[in-house]
Amino acid sequence: MTISLVPFRIKDHLQRTGELASFAWPTVSSVVQNGNPQALMEEYVRLAYLDSTWSSILKMDNEIIGCIFGTIRPKLKLKSKWHILKRMMALPKRLKRGDYGHINNPQEFYFKFIETEKKIAKLAKKDEAESMLATIDAEIRFLVVDKEFQGQGIGKQLVEAFLNETRLNNCHAVQVQLDLQSNWRFFEALGFGRIHEFEDPLNSFIEGTPTQSFIYYREI
C-alpha cells in the first residue's frame, strides 16, 4: 500500500474529486432533480480550483482518498481571476439549460451563491479594516476526504501540507469557510478558531430554512 501526495490535475482528477464532494455534501442531491448531483459538485470543484494557487490530492495506490485546494492571495494571478469570472458568467446559462440536472429556480440558486460569496468578502474587508487579526493572506478553498478514510489523519496531512506552503510564502494567517456539514472540531483540533458566524444564503436556500456558516482562522 503506497500513499502519495501529488498535485491535482483537473483533466485527470476532477471526476473522482467531484464524486467525493457529492458524498461529503449530500444535501446537494435535494437541489438537483432528474440529474446527477455529481455534475454540479464537479462545477463547484472546478471553480474552487480556479480560485486556488496550490492544490494536492492524496492517493492510496491509484485511488484518490483526499483533496485540498488552497489560495495564497498575493499569488492569485489576474489570468486566474479572469477564468473564474468567465466561468461564473456562464453558470446561470448552464443552470437554466439543465447541464447539472433540473434545479428548481436555478436563477435564485445562482443569486444565493453570489450573495454568500459577497458576505464572505465583506467579512474579510471588515477584518482588514479593523486590524483585529493578523493579515489573512491564505485560505483553504476546498477540502474533502473519502468517508471510508476519515479519522485516519488524511485531512490533517492535507491541511499541514498547505500550511507548510503558506510558511514558505511568509503568510501571516489562513482562513476557511465551514458549514453545518463540515467538521469544525477537526479544524479546532488543528489550532483554528471561529471568528465569524453568519446566515448563509446559499445553504439556507438548499436547506429550505435559515442555516449558519462559519469562518475559522489560524495564525501561521
pLDDT of residue 215: 95
The pTM (predicted TM-score) of the whole model is 0.92
Instruction: Give the pLDDT confidence score for residue 177 in this predicted structure.
Output: 94
pLDDT at 195: 93
Domain ranges of the chain: 3-219
Continuous H helices in the chain: 10-24, 28-31, 37-50, 78-97, 106-130, 154-168, 184-189, 201-207
Block means of pLDDT (10 residues each) for the chain, 220 residues, are 89 96 83 82 94 95 95 85 90 91 90 94 84 85 95 95 97 93 90 95 92 95
- Cα distance between residue 65 and residue 147, in whole Å: 9
Dist CA 42 CA 22 (whole Å) = 8
Please name the amino acid found at residue 123: L
CATH 3.40.50.10330 fits 3-219, yes or no: no
Reduced to 3 states, what is the DSSP secondary structure of residue 117? helix
Q: Which amino acid is at 60?
A: M
pLDDT given at position 132 = 67
> Rounded to whole angstroms, how far apart are CA atoms 11 and 49?
12
Distance CA 24, CA 1 (A): 25
Beta bridge partners of 101: 99
If you search the block for the grid coordinates 475559522, which residue do you land on? 216
Dist. CA 120–CA 133, nearest whole Å: 16
Burial readout 3-16 (b: 16 or more C-beta within 10 A, e: otherwise): eeeeebeeeebbeb
* pLDDT for position 161: 97
Residue with cell 490535475: 9
At residue 131, what is the residue type? Answer: S
**In angstroms, rounded to a whole number, what is the distance separating the alpha carbons of residues 207 and 209?**
5
